[in-house]
């Protein structure tokens, strides 16, 4: 089903959707409120362990997607290397095949444990505890388990080694700040170098290059589209005039330590819990969600660093320099939320959310009730919002970024389109069903 599908359900379907909505909400809230509670599937158990570790370590959104993709492709290649149901994600990094009779569950746990231990060493105690708990559920002394554990470790080590040269640790030349209207340091930190510039040229996961989905340049500063979107963010993203509802939406999607990766992985977990699917299918879904999010970051940072567009706070305070008589300068204008220290165009959160939603909608249908949890509204530890469609959630991310005063609508719209394309090409090209396997 296409993510834009908007066919109204019949009355019976409405009742079913209401019941399902309540069930998913309860599952999601219980999972967030009770760390360590498992869904009963080793793949989703370890995905939840990953999400909890990302949250506890306060890992920023961009590296969180990279870690998620590395962990979940390791788990998928470990499980699928035994099941042989799909094409492997990255067979060329492996110089071995799974031993006969290896345990899929053991392989999944070992792959996740190995990858997480390498990528989030500060959380080692958490991973050790989860590994011990998983081993307790597997037959002691089993040769199949031993083989699965060894195979999972082999796969994860290979994936982690491959990504160790992906450009994440690249040392870049100094950034040169251009003249207005290019990006400028923004309050309150006034960082002189855009954050995570290295993602612009990192090795992609499913894309052919970091610039595969490079969008056109943003609208001209004198265009009607720029004028309309300037006026919108100037009004609803203004800290002095923003409505309480819009401020709440902005904070919800911004999170404190929750990121786009933790939010959407929880959605995936909660939806998997409502379906009786194979271990390998769950691993494939999580691998597709996380690689699509990781590629969305790479593609969007490539675009950010290509166009170096100024943020609304800079644009509004310097509107006298844009050559547009329809935009009004306000030298004291302040956004609802602190502006992130990187370029404006396109919107990272919108694009990454769109990529995750695109994958999930392809599995469950766009008209699927989903619940998002966030820690963005203190002092409440977590709050939840429920949506009837994936597209509704992505649309609210767009509103949230404009209401935060940190993005123009055209940046969000372009990013949503990029995320959808990235998800679609991943679904069409990666981890395809092997010949002879029926649905």
Of all residues in the chain, what percent carry a pLDDT higher than 70?
90
Residue 171 counted as domain residue: no
For residues 294 and 160, membership in a common domain is answered with: no
Q: Which domain holds residue 60?
A: 35-166
In order of 36, 111, 289, the CA distances from 53 in angstroms are 11, 16, 18
For residues 6 and 105, membership in a common domain is answered with: no
- Going by pLDDT thresholds of 50, 70 and 90, the confidence category of residue 26 is very low
For residues 19 and 70, membership in a common domain is answered with: no
Cis peptide leading into 152, omega within 30 of 0?
A: no
Global confidence as pTM: 0.90
Among 112, 146, 166, identify where a domain stops.
166
For residues 138 and 183, membership in a common domain is answered with: no
CA atoms of 342 and 415, how far apart (whole Å): 15
121 and 56 Cβ atoms separated by less than 8 Å: no
The highest-confidence range among 35-49, 60-74, 85-99, by mean pLDDT, is 60-74
Among 120, 145, 166, identify where a domain stops.
166
* Tokens read off for 45: 């158990």
State which H helix or E strand residue 148 sits in.
helix 143-163
Residue 363 counted as domain residue: yes
Q: What is the pLDDT of residue 35?
A: 35
Q: Is 175 left (phi over 0), alpha (psi -120 to 50) or beta?
A: beta
Q: Report residue 141: phi and psi, to 5°.
A: 75, 5
pLDDT tens string 124-157:
999 999 999 999 999 999 999 999 999 999 999 9
Give the DSSP per-residue string, 183-209.
Answer: ----TTT--SS-TTGGGGGSPPSSSSS
For residues 22 and 48, membership in a common domain is answered with: no
Average pLDDT over residues 38-46: 78
For residues 249 and 222, membership in a common domain is answered with: yes
For residues 298 and 360, membership in a common domain is answered with: yes
Q: What is the pLDDT of residue 436?
A: 60
Of all residues in the chain, what percent carry a pLDDT higher than 90?
87
For residues 349 and 362, membership in a common domain is answered with: yes
Residue 218 counted as domain residue: yes
DSSP conformation class of 377: S
Give the bridge partners for 86, in sequence order. 433
Q: What is the pLDDT of residue 437?
A: 52
Domains identified in the chain, total number: 2
Q: What is the pLDDT of residue 435?
A: 77
Average pLDDT over residues 52-81: 98
CATH of the domain at 83: 1.20.144.10
Among 99, 132, 166, identify where a domain stops.
166
* Tokens read off for 266: 């929880």
- Going by pLDDT thresholds of 50, 70 and 90, the confidence category of residue 31 is very low
Give the DSSP per-residue string, 313-339.
Answer: HHHHHTGGGSS-TTS---TT--BSSPP
Q: What is the pLDDT of residue 95?
A: 78
Q: What is the pLDDT of residue 205?
A: 98
């Amino acid at each position: 089903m296409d993510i834009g599908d908007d066919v109204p359900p019949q009355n019976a379907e409405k009742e079913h959707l209401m019941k399902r909505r309540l069930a998913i909400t309860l599952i999601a809230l219980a999972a967030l409120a009770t760390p360590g509670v498992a869904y009963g599937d080793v793949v989703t158990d370890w995905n939840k362990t990953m999400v909890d570790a990302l949250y506890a370590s306060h890992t920023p959104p961009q590296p969180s997607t990279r870690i998620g993709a590395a962990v979940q492709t390791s788990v998928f290649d470990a499980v699928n290397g035994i099941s042989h149901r799909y094409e492997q994600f990255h067979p060329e990094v492996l110089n071995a095949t799974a031993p006969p009779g290896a345990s899929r569950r053991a392989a999944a746990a070992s792959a996740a444990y190995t990858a997480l231990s390498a990528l989030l060493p500060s959380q080692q105690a958490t991973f050790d505890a989860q590994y011990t708990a998983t081993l307790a559920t597997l037959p002691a002394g089993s040769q199949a388990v031993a083989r699965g554990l060894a195979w999972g470790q082999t796969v994860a080590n290979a994936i982690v080694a491959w990504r160790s040269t992906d450009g994440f640790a690249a040392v870049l030349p100094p950034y040169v700040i251009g003249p207005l209207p290019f990006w400028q340091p923004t309050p309150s930190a006034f960082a002189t170098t855009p954050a995570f510039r290295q993602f612009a040229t990192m090795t992609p996961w499913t894309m052919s290059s970091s610039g595969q989905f490079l969008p056109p340049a943003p609208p001209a500063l004198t265009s009607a589209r720029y004028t309309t979107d300037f006026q919108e963010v100037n009004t609803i993203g203004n800290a002095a005039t923003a409505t309480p509802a819009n401020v709440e939406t902005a904070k919800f999607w911004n999170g404190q330590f929750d990121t786009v990766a933790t939010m959407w992985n929880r959605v995936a977990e909660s939806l998997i819990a409502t379906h009786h699917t194979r271990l390998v299918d769950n691993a494939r879904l999580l691998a597709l969600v996380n690689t699509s999010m990781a590629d969305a970051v790479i593609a969007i940072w490539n675009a950010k660093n290509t166009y170096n567009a100024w943020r609304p706070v800079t644009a509004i305070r310097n509107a006298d320099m844009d050559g547009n008589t329809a935009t009004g300068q306000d030298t004291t204008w302040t956004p609802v939320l602190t502006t992130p220290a990187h370029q404006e165009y396109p919107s990272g959160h919108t694009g990454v959310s769109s990529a995750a939603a695109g994958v999930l909608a392809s599995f469950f249908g766009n008209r699927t009730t989903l619940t998002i949890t966030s820690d963005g509204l203190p002092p409440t530890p977590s709050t939840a919002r429920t949506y009837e469609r994936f597209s509704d959630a992505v649309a609210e991310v767009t509103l949230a970024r404009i209401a935060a005063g940190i993005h123009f609508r055209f940046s969000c719209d372009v990013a949503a389109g990029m995320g959808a394309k990235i998800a679609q090409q991943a679904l069409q090209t990666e981890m395809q069903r092997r010949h002879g396997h029926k649905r």
